[in-house]
Structure 1
């Protein structure tokens, strides 16, 4: 199936000759060599079709050159069915329109690249909330309709609403011979009745499908559709006479092996007006599974389960309060009850808890009426795959057997036998899944880096397949067979059924070019493993990258760190959290945290796509639009810290190379500020005049952004008069960073007054630097020297909290200091660091009450504070102060230190600002204070609304200033 080298060149040439843009550079190929599975297969090129005509052109070029063609949506496949050796069609970039929503017929007409969550929101908005789109897999905010059709996606509420195949009305496809066909519940027709070839092809294919069903009546009825989640293989029972030759449903779950989906009409469902979450705690997952039949008697909309390993990892990664409301236990079920009468739903919930208590297995249970608490609990479940990849207990877990399914009544027995099988092979399984539908997602601690570990993987997978079949189950219950399970289908189906699968595929794709290696004529399930074949090499790094954990995993610390990404793809979502601002601005996979991770993963592999190591231009380009906001270190379920990886890479890439001028003008900013403080009037006059743009351009800075005014040394000394000397017994250190000293010393004065107002003695540290600007530009040798001096100064043997005014500097001292220096002194200093908002919350909790505070504020939460001190640190501080009406711009402001000031990044910077900050400002009254503790955030507020002055939280609470400073 693999094309010859000459054909590889010709397919790219044919596409370009046809006017179809194709991406084939190293970082693009790296990004599309992976999905969310264990596999890696580099493509030849990537196309982002804008129309069906583009798809037809690509299909023709691939057919003529015998090149594989792979359809892709969000790239979240855990079975390896969104990668392949030829041309990848990514529909999510352009073919992502909701064409029409018809409330009368209860259908939505959509293109293949529409994200499921977008369709849900669009449907509920267009129908006043009366209708919704039901399938809601955990990846719903990045998975697409085309992908959901490809693997018959289900989701958390599948116990009520079933699979995607239950919600498909019609599907428009392009076949490998160029026909444009529409599959419906009653057969197949030409999409355009005037297209003679497609009309003929539809007629012939319809007859052939009827004959296939007629020839296999007994096996189709006997072997297919036995359980709710039988997703493995093709869904050919839909072709039976009693099912009316439902070709649309028979196409669902074909994983792009039969035709390319370009558009679909999907069925919508009524949306209940009331819902209530019931959370249950059990001793283990087997006990939880034993209660499923009782729970199903209450007609729940969802019955989801997780084990304690995921909960422990969530708390480790995101703090103790990231999981609130769980009952006592080591395994947990989430039960969604719904209806149109809230009282009746609550009554049913109470009765359910009573019944389960009588069963004797329930340890604890409660209803969760609070929407915020429900959202927190559901996020733990939805992030399960990423969280469990590197659990709190250490080591790594892998996909591969994450998708088995049995009848719900058989689930407890299956899980008990499965745990025994794990023990037999010395493996641990981290379990979560759709308990109500009998579908389990289990990540397992295989070692895929060594031949010994891969041998265990092979033997265990064979045994697991035999086990699920013995329990009357399916190899796949949702994710499809792909490269993970297709080779095992012979254990589940008879030779006659496998022959029918082959014939079905041939009828659609006689050319044999669509997604080779899956379902029929499959690749071995242990071929093309992404963790196999990584060259042994010691990668010298400045950052300490969890060496103990890396050693346990058998990988170099740098390799282990960049391989944290397993392709979950949360960085591709356009709402919720902060990451990834550059992807949200461009929509390009290469600009996502995942895309950058894949470039780094190919770098350590030394792959043909990226083989220059630290000097790779492809990796530099992939990292170029990373704002280093650090949001991924909090929002990514797998804990990717791309800001640190970018800094590390740049430190090596620019060794012996001339750096961009902005690395000197902005990277060395603390040094320049020592000079500008002496001549600030002159500097400000020059920058405000005609020469200012020349100076900015020479420094690699944008000329389109308002420059800040530099403060003089006298302004700083006047602001801190009475605070500069460290009083004996001072119990709080105020760290006055370079940005505050150089641009807004009045904030330092306000912060000092607030601290004194709490009854504490304060000393001001004005002669130390965290090295942030050198860290963000990858000048790590200098950064370590700066940090070393600062840590030596701050590590004075005391335990007084060190309150840092600038959130990014606080994050640098808290996180980067220990990781760059690796010293006990840096750890001691790190434990003392507080952001100002974090300190305010503590002071209020200890009894301090400020003066008058405004009833409402708008706050731009700083990305570094969000990631290092907790996503809710600002909101908690404001709530503690008694400010109930808080509009939070939860998203990167777009400046992100040096990024937004660099000439080549200004446009992206302003696009990022439109994601959260700009809308928040537009909806903020002129008399409502705007908080922007970060200097970068304050500059972006000024850029967006020059007449509006933002405040630091210290200024809002300053007893000598307060909210009126903003007016």
Structure 2
């Protein structure tokens, strides 16, 4: 049977026009704009398929309408959740229906029955948080794949997802009690153990369809009992194919479980009733070090006999990447070794969990393979170790040397007792094909994840990829294994199912699909009647990115990076904007908690406002045009980047380090060269140039800033009249504060006073000097200079380059003294942008010396210093986005804890101002919406009178906007005992 594909030519255009018109008539949001199609052309796999349109249903009725119309017009349809599929089962050439945006309500929770209803678009992590809050921490939702913070219920059922704790809790199959679904002909049914019926018994079509399906499924199971019992569910992680065995009598004719793992090819799951489990009272972690991964796999069966809740494996290459990207401190808790197993025990008391760890360690010692181990009971240390496994696995998409790695053979599984032998054969196969592997996995379930450095761009590279994949499939089957252990078959593995299953079983799968979707409308080409796994590869025909050093390449192969100072002209050969090509669709930018990215996505829940969505638009731009030149003139690019706050959080929170702020700056710079710019580029963008003049006439400037006609004129010119403006400090006050700092010549450390601190918060300067002197250092001051930050954020890169070059020339004084920068965004600019925009040894030397104030004080605390000021009982901490991106967000917290602050509330994301963004009239509303996610609730959670810390000037402005009664403080002022309890 042929797969349904989007009709081409006039018939296809007519069908699509009719579909869009009818969906709009029924009030279903649908979008076929070029930008939207670019965003949904990819998931987290190696594949790219451009859809015809994208729909965003808000209800079951909308879903039924979409499905009925697609069936009537023969338009294929792909259902999508978080879009994190690594197998390519969330993309399609017809209509893509995204359930994650609006169908995300959590329904009734039955604590006694231990179940909860949730819409298909509910994110797993959010469901877990809801359950734990509603049951005061007694129950939780168990499945925890690495994509927990963005994967949805519907997608996880579709892939039969698992996670780190599948040893204890199994797969999604084991937690699905019932599902509400819409069939390809629009019937609305409920499926569970022992039944398939219409949700509404008055709906005659659905009643008839339920009866027809029940009879067909029962007959299919009865006819094939022996084969279903022999070929299916032979190992813990056999996810490949359809789970038709759940229709057998001994499994109670469980239709809901049979649909788990069907990848949206049989029906659209719109809601699910899932089971809950008791939340462990406490856990302890046994981390084991081995000589190699195969040795670690040989201990798995011994470990399983101790009944742990998790057994996770990773090799040293993952650890090395984590160390490189997150710093040595991120992996310091690991034992010695070149491969590691992380074994978790749950218990009612910490002592019992610790005892289980120790007993297992003693038992494994007798095997003689463990070279080192650590037992970790402290929750902070335990979390740190788990992050090595979780973050390291995500970071493995980019090797230390910058080479990208790819999925493709990332999900094979065997019986745990055969894992070591399988790896002993698999690793030489990888080596024989010239690949290097970054490996981790759920070793307790026999599931192996690995990323390989495939060449998917060249014809020869794709031929090697195809040959390797065929050989790898043969290998896992000889070990009695499964092509997929939790990611699904998708485009990556469906073609290979004939290697794994008999011809008869493939026929059963086709019959199962045909009962549900006879016209092949739903996600065609997946599992049965498969599309070739080497087709639709996203990198086919795409050139390899060159070393752009953050600059636009106007013409592939041309030398376009401008000379400046001692920077050499570079030859580049990449048509990409910045490093947008690095996005592989992991989707961490769609997380609504943890990390700082992406603040605008957290406010809108729209893919276009995620780092991933923006990167995909830029990737499609270069694919279509062969160049990113004049990209800012493209409407889809402007729409995609409009709400980017340039917070730079993506540069560190994204596993591949995609820096959309840099890409936006480059595109704006390219577009406006030789053109008149918006007023805000000259006002806010050049503000450091105007500040010396404005501080000379501070009273007049402050009066003008509060004069309503001037504010309305500013609104017309692009500066929001609703934004509270800062008060300029008069020159006399600034000079007084500088004298008060008592800077010394030939000091141990230097303070860099940025334009904003000098003009708006000069009291920070003497406070910082006193605190730094108290740490035992003499304190001096750098020459005046500007880092060019506002020029960068408004896309005036040549102006920024000149200012950075001048600054570097002044600061490169032949010493290695620390340079402590009071404004964290300026510190981040010198550290990160200096080497990029200016280049050369001097920029590298200066960058290495730069510290934010928080980092400098944190280093002093590490040396044994403790603040003398009386600590507040509670505090709210808003770390500046740029400091988070470049220096990390832990320094201030560590200082506050050492100071003795017992009640600390941390803002979880960007404050919403982010430099010029929050001051612009068109972005004021979004700025405040972002604040609702982070700083506003943080202040609301804190005690009355809590100290609010904002080292970033833009963060301080947002706090004053949120509540004019609040006067937030810089950490220097807070720590200074002479600041009269933080008063100016």
TM-score (norm. length: structure 1)? 0.96
> Is 1:500 aligned to residue 504 of structure 2?
no
Cα displacement string for residues 578-622 of structure 1 (whole angstroms, at most 9, x for unaligned residues): 111111111111111111111111122127999974532211211
- Check conservation: 2:552, 2:578, Cα contact below 8 A: no
For 1:759 and 1:187, the matched residues in 2 are separated by: 75
Q: Which stretch of structure 1 is more off in the superposition, 557-566 or 431-440?
A: 557-566
Distance 1:804 1:516, change over 3 A: same
Distance 1:106 1:641, change over 3 A: same
Distance 1:215 1:603, change over 3 A: same
For 1:774 and 1:446, the matched residues in 2 are separated by: 39
Q: Select which of 370, 373, 376 maps to 1:368.
A: 376
Cα displacement string for residues 253-273 of structure 1 (whole angstroms, at most 9, x for unaligned residues): 110011111111112222232
- Check conservation: 1:98, 1:111, Cα contact below 8 A: yes
Question: Which residue of the partner structure matches residue 734 of structure 1?
Answer: 751
For 1:518 and 1:218, the matched residues in 2 are separated by: 25
- The number of aligned residues is 959
Displacement of 1:364 in angstroms is: 1.2
Distance 1:930 1:507, change over 3 A: same
- Check conservation: 1:727, 1:762, Cα contact below 8 A: yes
Displacement of 1:646 in angstroms is: 1.7
Displacement of 1:962 in angstroms is: 4.8
Distance 1:342 1:372, change over 3 A: closer
Question: Which residue of the partner structure matches residue 836 of structure 1?
Answer: 853
Question: Which residue of the partner structure matches residue 604 of structure 2?
Answer: 586
For 2:818 and 2:460, the matched residues in 1 are separated by: 50
Q: Select which of 1, 6, 9 maps to 1:2.
A: 6
Cα displacement string for residues 690-721 of structure 1 (whole angstroms, at most 9, x for unaligned residues): 23322431441111121111122222222212
Q: Which stretch of structure 1 is more off in the superposition, 703-712 or 479-488?
A: 703-712
Distance 1:205 1:924, change over 3 A: closer
Distance 1:770 1:544, change over 3 A: farther
Q: Select which of 284, 287, 295 maps to 1:279.
A: 287
Question: Which residue of the partner structure matches residue 751 of structure 1?
Answer: 768
> Is 1:379 aligned to residue 397 of structure 2?
no
Question: Which residue of the partner structure matches residue 677 of structure 1?
Answer: 695
Distance 1:560 1:626, change over 3 A: closer
For 2:885 and 2:545, the matched residues in 1 are separated by: 31
Distance 1:849 1:249, change over 3 A: closer
Cα displacement string for residues 208-267 of structure 1 (whole angstroms, at most 9, x for unaligned residues): 111112222222122111111110011111122322221111111110011111111112
Question: Which residue of the partner structure matches residue 101 of structure 2?
Answer: 93
Question: Which residue of the partner structure matches residue 896 of structure 1?
Answer: 914
Q: Select which of 924, 940, 943 maps to 1:922.
A: 940
> Is 1:157 aligned to residue 157 of structure 2?
no
- Check conservation: 1:603, 1:611, Cα contact below 8 A: no
Displacement of 1:923 in angstroms is: 3.1
Question: Which residue of the partner structure matches residue 563 of structure 2?
Answer: none
Distance 1:843 1:130, change over 3 A: closer
SS in 2 for 1:720: helix
Distance 1:536 1:745, change over 3 A: same
SS in 2 for 1:842: helix
> Is 1:801 aligned to residue 809 of structure 2?
no
Question: Which residue of the partner structure matches residue 567 of structure 2?
Answer: none
1:499-538 correspondence to structure 2 within 5 Å: 499-534=507-542
Q: Select which of 866, 870, 894 maps to 1:853.
A: 870
- Which blocks of at least 5 consecutive residues in structure 1 are unaligned? 548-553
1:66-77 correspondence to structure 2 within 5 Å: 66-77=74-85
Question: Which residue of the partner structure matches residue 451 of structure 2?
Answer: 443
For 1:444 and 1:536, the matched residues in 2 are separated by: 17
Q: Select which of 792, 795, 810 maps to 2:827.
A: 810
Distance 1:412 1:540, change over 3 A: closer
Q: Select which of 281, 292, 298 maps to 1:290.
A: 298
For 2:169 and 2:306, the matched residues in 1 are separated by: 15
For 1:676 and 1:866, the matched residues in 2 are separated by: 31
For 1:752 and 1:692, the matched residues in 2 are separated by: 38
> Is 1:938 aligned to residue 946 of structure 2?
no
Q: Which stretch of structure 1 is more off in the superposition, 857-866 or 73-82?
A: 857-866
For 1:113 and 1:928, the matched residues in 2 are separated by: 37
Displacement of 1:150 in angstroms is: 0.5
Displacement of 1:623 in angstroms is: 1.0
Question: Which residue of the partner structure matches residue 550 of structure 1?
Answer: none
Displacement of 1:335 in angstroms is: 1.0
> Is 1:80 aligned to residue 88 of structure 2?
yes
Displacement of 1:76 in angstroms is: 0.7
For 2:314 and 2:265, the matched residues in 1 are separated by: 33
- Check conservation: 2:575, 2:622, Cα contact below 8 A: no
SS in 2 for 1:329: coil
TM-score (norm. length: structure 2)? 0.94
> Is 1:491 aligned to residue 508 of structure 2?
no
Distance 1:589 1:607, change over 3 A: farther
Question: Which residue of the partner structure matches residue 551 of structure 1?
Answer: none
Question: Which residue of the partner structure matches residue 137 of structure 2?
Answer: 129
Distance 1:720 1:404, change over 3 A: same
Q: Select which of 422, 425, 430 maps to 2:430.
A: 422
- Check conservation: 2:552, 2:577, Cα contact below 8 A: no
For 1:842 and 1:302, the matched residues in 2 are separated by: 36
Cα displacement string for residues 465-505 of structure 1 (whole angstroms, at most 9, x for unaligned residues): 00000000000010000000001011001111111111111
- Check conservation: 2:294, 2:424, Cα contact below 8 A: yes
- Check conservation: 2:550, 2:579, Cα contact below 8 A: no
- Check conservation: 1:845, 1:880, Cα contact below 8 A: no
Question: Which residue of the partner structure matches residue 566 of structure 2?
Answer: none
For 2:573 and 2:179, the matched residues in 1 are separated by: 45
> Is 1:866 aligned to residue 884 of structure 2?
yes
Displacement of 1:836 in angstroms is: 0.7
Q: Which stretch of structure 1 is more off in the superposition, 842-851 or 815-824?
A: 842-851
For 1:486 and 1:180, the matched residues in 2 are separated by: 28
Q: Select which of 270, 283, 295 maps to 2:278.
A: 270
- Which blocks of at least 5 consecutive residues in structure 2 are unaligned? 558-571
For 1:340 and 1:564, the matched residues in 2 are separated by: 45
CA RMSD of aligned residues (A): 2.2
Distance 1:964 1:386, change over 3 A: closer
Displacement of 1:560 in angstroms is: 7.9
Question: Which residue of the partner structure matches residue 712 of structure 1?
Answer: 730
Distance 1:162 1:607, change over 3 A: farther
> Is 1:772 aligned to residue 800 of structure 2?
no
For 2:212 and 2:814, the matched residues in 1 are separated by: 84
Q: Which stretch of structure 1 is more off in the superposition, 43-52 or 405-414?
A: 43-52
